[in-house]
Amino acid sequence: QYPGVSDRSFPEVRPDNPLSPRRFSSLPFRSAPDRSARFPPEISSFPGSWMNYWRVVNKCEKKAEARDPRSVQGRQHSARVVDENGGDIPVSSYCSPSVPVSVSTDRHKVEVREFSDAVLSCTFRTEKDQNPRIEWKKKGRGVSLVYYDGHFKAPFEGRASIEGATVTLQRVTQEDAGEYRCEISAPNDSVQLGETNVTLKVLVPPHTPSCEIPSGAVTGSVVQLRCRDQQSIPPATYSWFKDSMALSPPWRANATFVINSHTGVLEFKAVAKEDTGRYSCLASNGVGPPKMCEAKHMKIEDVNILAVVAAVVVVFLVVVACSCGGLFLHRNGFFSRHFGSPSVMVQPTSAAKPCTELR
């Protein structure tokens, strides 16, 4: 037989009470021989002025939650448990509320600079177990142990500490970045395992970028200058300088150059002599001070028209001379004497007879 449960501010919660604030017509009740109501194994979501829910599982295995700051003991006295004859049974003596193990963290995402300390927060609350088992694990290609059986495992041994369930990693590097999981095991609780995840991101300031700047080009050609920093986290953004003056990204559609601040490419669609100068690139990501590569000089020259014409004339004369020489040698039979096929002459043998004798 299962007792009824009610809040002080509401009528008694029983299936046979017409004033009950909750309708139980759809619940599988059945009458006992003494006509007392029998409750199902679980009753939840009872209405109340401040109670979120009050569950009764079998013989009053209930779990209480409330946003109200009053204590659990205060909640016990604000409810009634009614026996089969309508009498009151003290809640505090009949059953005790339980709070299952719960695990949480102050920050699910932690961002720290490289070689600084990282605090991975983990707080827990248990129902009965006063000495739960605390474990930390790291997810990667597999799952590796960080803290187990009261000790830190390699590579965290000697550079990590724990207070409660909160772990502090010292002088973190890129190898330490990843997703960590805090697990609390309480074998004596009704809910025996709780966990929470913390993602660690290690920020790396910019390094000196590598720059590819050509030493020269001719006017009208397409020229690309490249800048890249492979180590900064988050990825760096890039800006270009000419003669120590920043090149602003052009806003005109017909601009002669384009800057991609994410890839670090400065592209000239058609360079001019005015583009001659010393170029350098600056990488920044907001973590540390920006870094700039060494400036290099790029010279743009006009195309030498006279040199081009002279080269074309020389090539033309060489082609004409070769053609005329080949024609002259061909007319004089030079190729037929030296490269032609030899003629074959058939000489009659002594045994050959004239045609008249054969007749």
Q: What is the pLDDT of residues 312-343, one digit of tens each?
A: 878 878 887 887 877 777 677 666 666 555 55
Residue 87: both structure tokens together = 């009498």
Q: Which long-range contacts (CB under 8 A, 24 or more apart) does 15-20 make?
A: 15/39
Cα 179 to Cα 110, 183, 196, 218, 233, distances in angstroms: 10, 13, 11, 52, 17
CB 13 within 8 A of CB 22: yes
Tokens of 284: 């920044």
pLDDT of the residue at 223: 94
Burial class (CB in 10 A: 0-12, 13-18, 19+), 53: middle
Q: What is the pLDDT of residue 114?
A: 94
For residue 231, what are its two tokens?
């180590």
Joined together, the tokens standing for residue 199 give: 């993602």
Q: How far is CA 85 from the centre of its chain?
A: 63
Residue 359 CA: distances (Å) to CA of 195, 337, 348, 352, 356: 123, 43, 19, 14, 5
d(C-alpha 250, C-alpha 70), whole Å: 64
Please report the pLDDT score of residue 252 as a whole number.
61
Report pLDDT for 87: 54
- Asked if residue 155 has a cis previous peptide bond (ω within 30° of 0), the answer is yes
For residue 230, give both structure tokens.
Answer: 């492979």
Q: Give the closest residue to 178 by CA, choosing from 166, 187, 188, 169.
A: 169
Q: Rounded to whole angstroms, how far apart are CA atoms 352 and 203?
A: 106
Residue of 247, 290, 295 whose CA lies nearest to 268: 247
Residue 225's DSSP bridge partners are: 266
What kind and span of H or E run contains 144? strand 143-148
How many whole angstroms separate alpha carbon 225 and alpha carbon 211? 7
Residue partners of 286: CB distance under 8 A and separation at least 6: 234
296-301 and 216-218 as β-strands: parallel, antiparallel, unpaired?
parallel
Q: Which parts of the chain have pLDDT scores under 50?
A: 1-84, 89-98, 344, 346, 351-359
Can you count the helices (H) and strands (E) in the chain? 5, 30
Q: Indicate whether this model's pTM tops 0.75.
A: no
Query: Are 46 and 13 in contact, with CB atoms under 8 Å apart?
Result: yes
Domains of the chain and CATH, by start: 4-94 (no CATH), 102-203 (2.60.40.10), 210-301 (2.60.40.10)
Residue recorded with tokens 């709780």 = 194
**Residue showing tokens 């002669």:** 256
At 252, is the secondary structure helix, strand, or coil? Answer: coil
- Residue 50's pLDDT is 27
- The span from the CA of 273 to the CA of 124, in Å, is 69
